[in-house]
């Protein structure tokens, strides 16, 4: 009898222990008892201008149960946000309320406390507290236009020299029509910058060019770059597209570019002339901006670009091409460079030293090279047959870099020559004109030199 009681007692103890262990395992591994503390992040930098809303983001798998936000004043903590949530929300974003600081305050301490809905910690949940210091910066950056070209033509270029400074500077750039961004390149000394900017030929309207400077507290200064504008005479061309062109040119170009080929001739040409063209232009822009030199400029040494030796011009910049198939207009596009032709496989020699930043097959452009010459200016050579340089190679003025060809969306052997300003093809004729370079670029930079020297006094 005693043995039976002992056996029964041991069984009860075993069962109790088993239940306790099972419960402990369940609690330890159950999502309802998760042990991770909530995560707190700020969507702003740790700089504040005293006006913008400060955004706080909270996250927890089990859901946010409650949160509080304080700032520390001279009189102690001041509650600026305090919430208890009635429903489960794994992501919570809120803005801090009014923070009233002394006008001369340089910083403020923020405290965020958060508790989740986990049953861990005896059903009290996981809690976390985070403190961070906001640096208060109410002063806008200095952003002055020192000098700039007198005017700019549609499809053309202009030079700008500016002064930008702020102890917490975050970003600085020049915009065209608030749509196109041009990077600033260090010029001569600290806080001074230069840029060559472009008016994209396809943008008929000129709104304004702005210098923009933003600091880490999101204080922003916008200064207008004063430019007079000049019209561009545009030539319209009517080009007939044949079935032979589609079969011999468009289809191979699409196939080599890994594009699916539609079933009818019009769709094939449109895919090549619209979709592939847009992709090719985007590739040029990306390669140009990502690989352009941003080293400090001490002197402008770019010389006029020279035409292909012994060549004739078969197409010019800013020709508006209207494409027809069997008498019906099907598309239109800008021609963005100069087309020169002489003999088959003619030598291509460059006019200015630089670095090869692109050397590859590029759809409608065919085998293409881009040379960076500094200042955000590059030269482009398309439809080549053979290259004699490698990507990242430094080249000298006069070097033979390639031979002309008929690669890409063309029938005959020729060179498409283009000039890029931060990835945008501009009018090459300006950059082939010694007087234009002197009056629109070189003289502008020299004029800025005097202003920069006087800043030392």
pLDDT tens digits, one per residue of 174-198? 999 999 999 999 999 999 999 999 9
Report pLDDT digits (tens) over 192-209. Answer: 999 999 999 999 999 999
Fold (CATH) for 142-231: Immunoglobulin-like (2.60.40)
> Chain centroid to CA 281: how far?
15
Mean pLDDT of the chain: 91
Higher-pLDDT residue of 45 and 388 is 388
pLDDT of residue 17: 63
- pLDDT value for 51: 85
What is the predicted pLDDT for the residue at 387? 97
Q: Give the rounded distance of the alpha carbon of 372 from its chain centre.
A: 18
Averaged pLDDT for residues 341-353: 96
pLDDT of 20 over the 80 cut: no
Task: With a cut of 60, say whether residue 23 has pLDDT above it.
Answer: no
pLDDT band at 27; cut points 50, 70, 90: very low
Residue 9 pLDDT grade (very low, low, confident, very high; cuts 50, 70, 90): low
Tens digit of each residue's pLDDT (9 = 90 or more) over 405-428: 999 999 899 999 999 999 999 999
pLDDT band with cut points at 50, 70 and 90 for residue 215: very high
The pLDDT confidence band at residue 451, using thresholds 50, 70 and 90, is confident
Domain 235-426 CATH (choose: 3.40.640.10, 3.30.200.20, 2.70.70.10, 3.40.50.300):
2.70.70.10
Indicate if the pLDDT at residue 317 is higher than 90: yes
- The token pair at 109 is 């301490």
Q: What pLDDT shows up at residue 30? A: 54
Percentage above 90 pLDDT, the chain: 74
- pLDDT reading at 4 higher than 80: no
What's the pLDDT at 123? Answer: 76
Which residue carries 């082939």 as its tokens?
432
Contact 127, 111 (CB under 8 A): no
Quote the pTM value.
0.85
- Name the architecture of domain 36-136: Sandwich (2.60)
pLDDT the model gives residue 65: 92
What percent of the chain has pLDDT above 70? 92
Q: What strands lie across the sheet with 386-387, from one edge to the other?
A: 347-349, 400-403, 386-387
What does the pLDDT average to over 133-162?
A: 95
Burial 118-150 (b: 16+ CB within 10 A, else e): bebeeeebbbbebeeebebbeebbebbbbbbbe
pLDDT bucket at 12, cuts 50 / 70 / 90 = low
Does 292 have pLDDT greater than 90?
A: yes
Which of the four pLDDT bands, split at 50, 70 and 90, describes residue 44? low
In terms of average pLDDT, the best of 40-44, 81-85, 245-249 is 245-249
Between residues 218 and 76, which one has the greater pLDDT?
218
Give me the pLDDT at residue 178, please: 95
The predicted pLDDT at position 197 comes to: 98
Token duo for residue 177: 């029509």
Q: Is the pLDDT of residue 81 over 90?
A: no
């Amino acid at each position: 009898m005693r043995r039976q009681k002992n056996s029964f007692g041991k069984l009860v103890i075993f069962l109790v222990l088993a239940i306790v262990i099972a419960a402990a395992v369940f609690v330890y591994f159950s999502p309802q008892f998760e042990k991770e503390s909530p995560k707190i992040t700020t969507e702003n930098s740790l700089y504040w201008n005293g006006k913008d809303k400060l955004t706080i983001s909270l996250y927890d798998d089990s859901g946010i149960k409650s949160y509080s936000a304080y700032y520390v004043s001279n009189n102690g903590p001041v509650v600026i946000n305090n919430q208890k949530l009635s429903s489960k929300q794994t992501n919570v974003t809120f803005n801090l309320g009014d923070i009233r600081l002394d006008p001369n305050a340089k910083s403020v301490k923020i405290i965020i406390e958060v508790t989740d809905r986990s049953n861990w910690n005896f059903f009290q949940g996981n809690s976390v507290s985070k403190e961070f210091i906001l640096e208060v910066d109410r002063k806008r950056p200095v952003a002055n236009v020192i000098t700039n070209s007198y005017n700019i033509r549609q499809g053309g270029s202009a030079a700008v020299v500016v002064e930008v400074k702020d102890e917490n500077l975050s970003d600085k750039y020049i915009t065209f029509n608030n749509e196109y961004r041009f990077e600033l390149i260090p010029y001569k000394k600290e806080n001074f910058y230069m840029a060559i900017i472009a008016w994209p030929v396809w943008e008929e309207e000129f709104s304004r060019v702005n210098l923009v400077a933003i600091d880490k507290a999101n204080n922003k200064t916008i200064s207008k770059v004063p430019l007079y504008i000049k019209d561009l005479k545009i030539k319209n061309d009517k080009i007939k597209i044949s079935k032979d062109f589609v079969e011999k040119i468009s289809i191979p170009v699409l196939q080599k570019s890994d594009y699916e080929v539609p079933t009818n001739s019009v769709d094939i040409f449109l895919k090549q002339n619209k979709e592939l063209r847009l992709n090719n232009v985007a590739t040029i822009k990306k390669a140009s901006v990502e690989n352009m030199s941003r080293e400090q400029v001490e002197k402008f040494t770019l010389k006029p670009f020279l035409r292909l030796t012994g060549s004739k011009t078969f197409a010019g910049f800013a020709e508006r091409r209207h494409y027809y198939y069997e008498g019906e207009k099907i598309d239109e596009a800008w021609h963005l460079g100069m087309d020169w032709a002489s003999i088959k496989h003619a030598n291509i020699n460059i006019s200015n030293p630089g670095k090869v930043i692109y050397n590859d097959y590029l759809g409608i452009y065919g085998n293409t090279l881009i040379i960076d010459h500094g200042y955000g200016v590059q030269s482009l050579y398309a439809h080549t047959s053979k290259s004699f340089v490698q990507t990242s190679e430094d080249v000298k003025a006069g070097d033979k870099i390639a031979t002309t060809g008929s690669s890409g969306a063309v029938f005959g052997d020729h060179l498409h020559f283009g000039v890029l300003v931060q990835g945008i093809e501009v009018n090459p004729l300006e950059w082939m004109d010694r007087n234009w370079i002197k009056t629109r670029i070189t003289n502008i930079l020299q004029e800025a030199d005097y202003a920069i020297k006087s800043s030392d006094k």
